[in-house]
Amino acid sequence: MDVRFTKMEGCGNDYVYISGFDFRLDPEKKPEIVQKLSDRHFGIGGDGVIFINPSEIADFEMEMWNADGTRGEMCGNGIRCVGKFVYDSGMTDKKEITVESFGKVKYLTLYTDEADGKEAVTSVRVNMGEPILEAKDVPVIAGSSPVVAEAIHIPLQKTGDHEGSGGDYKMTCVSMGNPHAVVYIDSTDDLEIEKIGPLFENHERFPNRTNTEFVEIIDREHVKMRVWERGSGETLACGTGCCAVCVAGVLNGFTEPRLEVRVLGGALLIEWDREKNLVWMTGPATTVFEGTISI
């Protein structure tokens, strides 16, 4: 079966996009297909695969899969690219659209520009909804709720000749439809994320595993972040993670509710409207290339 795809990225967080309107794949085979397509050596390459499907409760549905073949509840960078995909391909002519992800509806504003005589989406602002702070809903096993600067011990682990980065950390836990543990460190440049990331992701205190954001504060309106994503490893950006970092910064008193989060792939502007308890994310969406692959 030949399937058309579009490779897209938001701040370097890259996925393979497939229209579920045009191609219907066997659900039981999807985990294997996702792993194949995501492989950067033997497939197209990406942090996962996103299927764009019809929805009964929104304009479109985003069905997001991690590179390891597991389902993901939400992807902030991914949903911006969904907005670009459906507009640029002519699936909608609206610049205000709704997208369902894991049963939850997000509201997108599409910003366009004209290039080569064609109007295309360049950036997207997303109403990411309310941050979830109750420990049981994140979910995280904790001594208090919400979980703000709570101690967590990461046991030292050895894998073959490699030694993990164990130690004691303080985490602030936020869900933006998927779980996040935000950890503040002195320098993200010196972080051996490939050692510590998996230990957080699979820690027993996270029943559904977790994404982990390691944050260096620049000033009250700017931070640097590196992220270890559940099921994908280190990625160049994580939209929901940036939202979690904004919320966590306010809860800890470190940063303002309007925050630029600098990631390896660029920067996202995050705003937490405390009065309405809504988080807004604004950032780029880019098409890398298109093609056809045999599945």
Which residues lie closer than 8 Å to 112 by C-beta, 6 or more apart? 87, 95, 119, 120, 121, 122
- Tokens at residue 247, please? 């919320």
CA distances from 150 to 82, 85, 101, 127, 182 (A): 35, 40, 30, 28, 10
Query: Residue 268, SS3?
Result: strand
Q: Quick check: is 11 catalytic?
A: no
Which is catalytic among the residues 81, 238, 242, 243?
Answer: 238
For strand 233-235 and strand 258-263, is the pairing parallel, antiparallel, or unpaired? unpaired
Cis peptide before 146, with omega less than 30 degrees from 0?
yes
Axis crossing angle, helix 76-88 with helix 239-252, rounded to the nearest 10: 140
Tell me which residue of 16, 27, 33 sits closest to 85, measured CA to CA.
Answer: 16
DSSP H helical ranges for the chain: 30-38, 76-88, 193-201, 239-252
Cis peptide before 139, with omega less than 30 degrees from 0?
yes
Which is catalytic among the residues 75, 81, 243, 246?
Answer: 75
Cβ atoms within 10 Å of 193's Cβ, excluding its own: 17
Alpha carbon distance 209, 152 (integer Å): 14
Q: Quick check: is 75 catalytic?
A: yes
Positions marked catalytic: 75, 238
